[in-house]
Amino acid sequence: MINPDAKLSDKVFADDIEKKPTRDGFGKGTVEAGKANPNVVVLSADLGDSTRAAWFQKEFPDRYIEVGVAEQNLATVAAGLAAVGKIPFIASYAAFSPGRSYEQIRTTAALNQQPVKIGGMHAGIQTGPDGATHQMLEDIGLMRMLPHMTVMVPADSVEGEKCVVEAAKLPNPCYIRFGRAAEPVFTTPETPFQIGKALTLWKSEKPTVAFFTTGSVAYRTLQAAKLLEEEGIGSIVLHFHTVKPFDDAAAVEAASQVVRIVTVEEHQVAGGFGSAVAECLSLKHPIQITRMGMQDEFGQSGEPDALMDFYGLSPRHIAAEGKKLS
d(CA 132, CA 251): 32
Distances (CA, A) of 65 to 54, 176, 246: 10, 19, 33
Reported as a single tens digit per residue, the pLDDT across 114-169 is 999 999 999 999 998 999 999 999 999 999 999 999 999 999 999 999 999 999 99
Q: Which alpha helices (DSSP H) does the chain contain, by range?
A: 24-36, 48-51, 53-59, 71-83, 102-104, 139-144, 157-167, 217-230, 248-255, 273-284, 304-310, 315-323
Catalytic residue, candidates 59, 66, 71, 166? 71
CA–CA distance, 100 with 96 (Å, rounded to integer): 4
- Could you give the CA distance from residue 223 to residue 211 in angstroms, rounded to a whole number? 12
List the one residue out of 237, 226, 220 whose CA is nearest residue 318. 220
Residue 220 is predicted with a pLDDT of 98
User: DSSP of 43-80, one letter per residue?
Assistant: EESS-HHHHTHHHHHHH-GGGEEE--S-HHHHHHHHHH
Residues of the chain with pLDDT under 70: 325-326
Asked if 190 and 217 touch (Cβ cutoff 8 Å), the reply is: no
Q: What's the CATH code, domain 19-184? A: 3.40.50.970
CA distance 323 to 233: 7
Instruction: Judge if pTM exceeds 0.85.
Output: yes
Answer yes or no: 205 catalytic. Answer: no
Pairwise CA distance, residues 30 & 36, whole Å: 10
What's the confidence (pLDDT) of residue 294?
A: 98
The C-alpha atoms of residue 113 and residue 148 are separated, in whole angstroms, by: 7
- Is residue 209 a contact partner of residue 35, using CB atoms and an 8 Å limit? no
Q: Distance (Å, rounded) from C-alpha 265 to C-alpha 124?
A: 9
Domain boundaries, the chain: 4-8+192-323, 19-184
Give the pLDDT score at 242: 98
**Hey, is 40 helix, strand or coil?**
strand
Rounded distance, CA 216 to CA 124, Å?
10
CA distance 19 to 225: 20
CA distance 195 to 300: 33
According to the model, what pLDDT value does residue 48 have? Answer: 95
Assigned CATH topology for domain 4-8+192-323: Rossmann fold (3.40.50)
For residue range 238-272, list pLDDT tens digits in order: 999 999 999 999 999 999 999 999 999 999 999 99
Residue 197 is predicted with a pLDDT of: 98
Tell me how far apart the alpha carbons of residues 38 and 298 are, in angstroms, rounded to a whole number.
41
pLDDT at res. 315: 98
The gap between the terminal CA atoms of the chain, to the nearest Å, is 17
* Residue 197 and residue 250 in contact, taking contact as beta carbons nearer than 8 Å: yes
pLDDT at residue number 60: 98
The dihedrals phi and psi of 81, each to the nearest 5 degrees, come to -65, -40
